[in-house]
Amino acid sequence: MSAPSRSRSKIPKAPAQPESGLAELRRLDHAHFWHPFTQMRDWCASEDDPLIIVSAQGAILTDAEGKDYIDGNSSIWTNIHGHRHPMIDAAIRDQLDRIAHCSALGFSNEPSILLAAKLVEIAPGDTLTRVFFTDDGSTAIECACRMAAQYRDRVGESERQEFIVFDGAYHGDTVGAASLGGISAFADMGGAKGYPIRRIGSIEELAAIDSSRVNAAVIEPLIQGAGGMRLWPYGMLRQLRDWCDEHGVFLILDEVMTGFGRTGRLFACDHELVVPDFLCLAKGLTGGYLPLAVTLTTERVFSAFLGDYDSLRTFFYGHSYCGNALGAAAALANLRIFEEENVIESLARKIEVLGQSLHEATTYCPHFGEIRHLGMIGAIDLIDIRSGSEFDWRRETGARVCRRARDYGLLTRPVRDTLVLMPPLCISEQQIRICVQALVDATNEILGNP
């Protein structure tokens, strides 16, 4: 086994898997582990896979053979301050010495109480005062929709049933959340019925909608993630908020991807000073350590659920791990790091470097089409230089490029043929440049450098 490079890490790494066990781990993976969003026939046919990650430090992941890679997509958009951050590690260990989990059904716990209060303090505006805990992005969205639907029922507005959603949207994979999505490849819900929706492509289409039937508009603010890192025009979120206010419609913001600094502000809606009626947070909430999510809402919504027990106004909804203490402890530490390390302020220069490197890269790589950049999120569309348009998706060009980028020390995952960089916020300027260069080299190798 080659010695992993230690130069970047202050803390010694845990020993990697012994190499004798690696073949067996791969065999067992192929035999039993069904991976998400993965064509398992291809997965199991690949001999040098799976890449098994055994340890990490900061923005660096290390595999079972001791090879280091930059975590170019923050472990699918979750990691915030890097791996093994001493404050989050310590917070989880400390909580583990007390209790890992106890039900929030009938009981409460200190880290979840403190986290709820802290989230209310840092949330945009001053109207989001109630916090409901769930497990992941899908359930945070599910919870918001269910609350909005039951609210209309409780206040006698049950004609307001429709949810306005957008082409290219992604809000998760449970039936309710998936029914809001606008990506056709993910549309198969096995015949299950979701929420009644009105899908639109742009804000102009609101004009044609009978708003008296609309419950809420749901949107990924500023940028659609799984839809291909597509930016909304600046000012659109504000317009949507105004339209919702004018027509008595709720605004549900899905900040599952954009929350916790990704866009350069703590929340994407901070850019346009928009305050939603429901704010859904997940991926980065625990700094990328544990599955935990929240749905924040207002006193107005909360109070509609109050009443005598037999009035059945209770919000009948919840999950076994609601208010998980380990997750809440990690989330509190995640938020403390933002304050103690002035993380948002420290991003300005990195954001500049990311934008600059991406734009410079188009000079070195003829296959790079449109570049999109928002905060610490970068996206590059690959284009077929012979036709000037996008590749046939069946060729898996983006996936092949990202696969080759491994050889240049970068792990990331494309959205179809859009290359994505969304590194942990702790990444260095130098590492950002390495990521972009890795994508240039990998692309030129796969598609040729004429």
Q: Which residues bind to ligand PLP, rule: CB under 6 A?
A: 136-138, 141, 170-172, 220, 225-226, 254, 256-257, 282-283
Considering the complex, what minimum distance in angstroms separates the CB of residue 220 from ligand PLP? 5
**Residue (256 or 296) nearer to ligand PLP, CB:** 256
Nearer to ligand PLP, 109 or 286 (CB): 286
Task: Report the phi/psi class of residue 210: left, alpha or beta, with left for phi > 0 and alpha for psi in -120 to 50.
Answer: beta
Cβ distance to ligand PLP smaller for residue 4 or 221: 221
Shortest reach from residue 135's CB to ligand PLP, in Å: 8
Largest Cα separation within the chain, whole Å, is: 74
Q: Of 311 and 320, which has the nearer Cβ to ligand PLP?
A: 320
Tally of CB atoms within 10 A around 25 = 15
- What angle do helix axes 325-340 and 110-122 make, rounded to 10 degrees? 40
Contact present, 285 and 333 (Cβ < 8 Å): no
Given the complex with ligand PLP, which of 63 and 255 has the nearer CB atom? 255
Q: Which is nearer to ligand PLP, 409 or 424 (CB)?
A: 424
**Nearer to ligand PLP among residue 22 and residue 197 (C-beta):** 197
Report, in Å, the least distance between residue 146 CB and ligand PLP. Answer: 15
Nearest distance in Å: CB 171, ligand PLP: 5
In the complex, which residue's CB is closest to ligand PLP?
A: 137
Q: Of 91, 103, 105, give the one whose Cα is nearest residue 326.
A: 91
Short-list 369, 250, 264, 262, CA closest to 300 = 250
**What is the pairing mode between strands 278-281 and 250-254?**
parallel
If 0-12 CB within 10 Å is exposed, 13-18 middle and 19+ buried, where does residue 198 land?
middle
**Distance in Å, CB of 54 to ligand PLP, minimum:** 24
Angle at 178 between CA 173 and CA 182, to 5 degrees: 125
Q: How many CB atoms lie within 10 A of CB 110?
A: 14
Q: Tell me how far, at minimum, the Cβ of 415 lies from ligand PLP, in Å.
A: 11
- The Cα 100–Cα 287 span in angstroms is 18
Shortest Cβ distance from residue 360 to ligand PLP (Å)?
28
Mapping DSSP onto H, E and C, the string for 400-436 reads: HHHHHHHHHCEECCCECCEEEECCCCCCCHHHHHHHH
